[in-house]
Amino acid sequence: MLIDRLYEEVQSKGNVCVGLDTCMEYIPKDFKDKYYFEQDALFRFNQRIIDATADIAACFKVQIAYYEALGIKGLMAYKKTLEYIRSKGSIAISDIKRGDISSTASMYAKGHFEGDFETDFITLSPYMGMDSIEPYLNYVKEKEKGMFVLVRTSNEGAKDIEFLNTKDGKKVYETVGEKLEILGGNFMGKCGYSSIGGVVGCTHREDAVEIRKKFNNTFFLIPGYGAQGGTEDDVSLYLNQGNGGVVNSSRGILLAYKKCEDSSLSFEECSRMEAVSMRDKIRKACLK
């Protein structure tokens, strides 16, 4: 199962998920000016970040919106970025947050688990119901693919829906998590986690221990670290003995060169230093 690969990557490399949510504005001007076409600068920047962090990152998350915003040329950079991640033997998560049903969902599954945009994991929104997830399941079973479904996100607006009480007294996100835990039981890896994981933000730490305990077979994609305010101590509460989740950082790693005190270092060297620091802080927090 794909989840066993990810589990082993975390065991050997740590929990860092490098987020390639790459704006053109993030790319240093002197580097960007070397390329005539935006898509070339975008891909080459990503390539340098990947090369600098592949040995210390459990996976890479590519947010499709940053590439769609540039049209066809952006999607070409998206395609090449995914291909490059996977050619390095690393795991790619495509952050697409699709949420539709029936034949439409089947086409989304085909579009992101096959062809030009093939990836390893995708993110999904469950708010049209659990049947919005069903069209992807054959890929999990037959094609070594996986998914991370939104459970409790890191944004402030999560409280508008995810924290509402249902008629049985549970929060909406708890109901979603329970349904995923049941569904995920059909796709368990040897590591004790399912290839159907959950997105759980680390910025609401008050019920973190309960969430980790309640959804014990669900592997977490954990946003909210760094720029959104989450800390290594917050993150550690969502892990089981240092595993069971990957922690995404995008701006913190991509823009590390802007706060690096050593001006002689390249942008990718600064990104590597930030990723190593993040990994080590999380490991240390998990030992407390």
Section 36-45 average pLDDT: 94
C-alpha 50/C-alpha 46 separation (Å) is: 6
Query: Residue 181: left if φ>0, alpha if ψ -120 to 50, beta else—which one?
Result: alpha
Cα pseudo-dihedral 233, 210, 217, 133, rounded to 10: -100
pLDDT score recorded for residue 57: 98
pLDDT score recorded for residue 255: 96
Which residues does 259 contact at the CB level (< 8 Å), separation at least 6? Answer: none
Tell me how far CA of residue 202 lies from CA of 99, 137, 218, 223, 258, in angstroms.
Answer: 23, 27, 15, 6, 25
Q: For the chain, give every domain's residue range.
A: 2-12+93-286
What are the backbone dihedrals phi and psi of residue 276, each rounded to the nearest 5 degrees, phi first?
-65, -45
* 283 CB-contact burial (10 Å; exposed 0-12 / middle 13-18 / buried 19+): middle
**Does the 2-12+93-286 domain belong in CATH 3.30.470.10?**
no
pLDDT score of 67 more than 90: yes
pLDDT score recorded for residue 224: 85
Q: Model confidence at 131, in pLDDT bands (50, 70, 90)?
A: very high
For 199-224, the pLDDT digits (tens) are 999 877 778 889 999 999 999 999 98
pLDDT score recorded for residue 263: 82
pLDDT score recorded for residue 221: 97
C-alpha 91/C-alpha 282 separation (Å) is: 20
Catalytic residue among 32, 97, 110, 171: 97
Residue 97 known to be catalytic: yes
Q: Model confidence at 226, in pLDDT bands (50, 70, 90)?
A: confident
Q: Which residues share a beta bridge with 197?
A: 148
pLDDT score recorded for residue 169: 87
**Which region among 67-71, 155-159, 198-202 has the lowest average model confidence (pLDDT)?**
155-159
Give the chain's mean pLDDT. Answer: 94
Section 82-110 average pLDDT: 96
pTM (two decimals): 0.96
C-alpha 154/C-alpha 193 separation (Å) is: 22
